[in-house]
Amino acid sequence: MTVDEIRAHHLPTLLRRIPKAELHLHIEGSLEPELIFKLAARNGVTLPYPSVEALRAAYAFSDLQSFLDIYYAGASVLLKEEDFFDMAWAYFERAAADNVVHAEIFFDPQTHTDRGVPIEAVILGLSHACRRAHAEFGLSASLILCFLRHLSEDAALTALTQALPYREHFIGVGLDSSERGHPPEKFARVFSKARDLGLRLVAHAGEEGPPAYIESALDVLKVERIDHGVRCLESPALVQRLAATRMPLTVCPLSNVKLCVFKSLAAHNLPALLDAGLCVTINSDDPAYFGGYINQNFVETFAALPQLTAAHARQMAANSFEASFVPAERKAVWLRELDAVIAGAA
């Protein structure tokens, strides 16, 4: 079957089945309320919520900051290496079930080291889970260390220095947390240092912040992917540049609705981003907080936007491989697997 012959009613099955790469996933955002309570009990941490249900009920956000406040509180139960392993392993089990074949995962060391957790516990716990995901599921996974942009650049430089003894356990650096008022150029020196160390570079930009933040992420930080980037459409010149350079945008539709970037999935600008020829991927951001993992993002987004077809699904899965930080030969293998799944689709 060719991709154009796949009808709308077969789309949800196809969306779930296709192999895909996850490129925008904060591992702390995969911490489900049940695991938060389990780790709190194991570590003797008292939570400001009486139950799993009460915590989940608090997941009603008005913007990015209202989410981040609760997200950092949730991460307070993570203390030991095994906690980081358990969190990441729970994510990999779900990702493998969603046919994720490759994941490049964000972690926020400052959220933990500022509470006295040794960076070694963070990195080794996560890295151990990555290795096991590859061994058990054939899912390749790597780590991207994110700097918290609401903190200073000196604090980011300290985080990078602390992480360097574990350099072989992560492939790149990113920039996350509160975007407004914290432009990429604030982190020029630490990104330049990371670049000199051979690390791959990404940054959140254009989620809540203006198109100018996407431009400075490219021009000053020299990033190789933009996380979110949905506000690029406000600048036609920027869209043209992103399309011409095939700069990937790691879009997270359910996140964008939960954080009120768009009022609904039906109002999301994903079709316009695709029409502009951009290298768009679909990702889950903080799935425990935003209502679903990567397949849920695919299925709900396609259901809400009927102009999206199987050809778009193939394009975005292919984009996720193209945008990943792996050798070209690996990308070619995944592309062949993607086309074999589509050819076999009923």
Instruction: Check: CB of residue 176 under 8 Å from CB of residue 148.
Output: yes
Among 11, 14, 19, 29, binds ligand ADE (CB under 6 A): 29
Which residues are marked as active site? Answer: 207
Q: Which is nearer to Zn ion, 26 or 102 (CB)?
A: 26
Which tokens hold the place of 121? 């516990």
The minimum distance between CB 301 and ligand ADE, in angstroms, equals 16
Q: CB under 5 to 8 A by kind: which of Zn ion, ligand ADE, none does 64 bind?
A: ligand ADE
DSSP string, 5-35: G--GGGHHHHHHHS-EEE--BBGGGG--HHH
Size of the site for ligand ADE (CB under 6 A): 11
Q: CB under 5 to 8 A by kind: which of ligand ADE, Zn ion, none does 207 bind?
A: ligand ADE
Which tokens hold the place of 276? 């502009």
The minimum distance between CB 290 and ligand ADE, in angstroms, equals 9
Which residues are within 8 A (CB) of 295 and not within 5 positions of it... i.e. 6 or more apart?
15, 16, 98, 99
Residues 153-182 that bind ligand ADE (CB under 6 A): 176-177
Residues 254-313 that bind Zn ion (CB under 5 A): 285
Give the span between the Cα atoms of 124 and 128, in whole angstroms.
Answer: 6
How large is the greatest C-alpha to C-alpha distance in the chain, in angstroms?
Answer: 56
Q: Does 104 bind ligand ADE (CB under 6 A)?
A: no
DSSP string, 274-338: HHTT--EEE--BSHHHHT--HHHHHHHHHHH-TT--HHHHHHHHHHHHHTSSS-HHHHHHHHHHH
DSSP string, 67-93: HHHHHHHHGGG--SHHHHHHHHHHHHH
Q: CB under 5 to 8 A by kind: which of ligand ADE, Zn ion, none does 110 bind?
A: none
Q: Which is nearer to ligand ADE, 46 or 264 (CB)?
A: 264
Q: 196-235 mask for ligand ADE (x: CB under 6 A)?
A: --------x--x----------------------------
Among 64, 88, 126, 254, binds ligand ADE (CB under 6 A): 64
Q: Contact residues for Zn ion (CB under 5 A)?
A: 285
Q: Contact residues for ligand ADE (CB under 6 A)?
A: 26, 29, 64, 71, 176-177, 204, 207, 255, 285-286
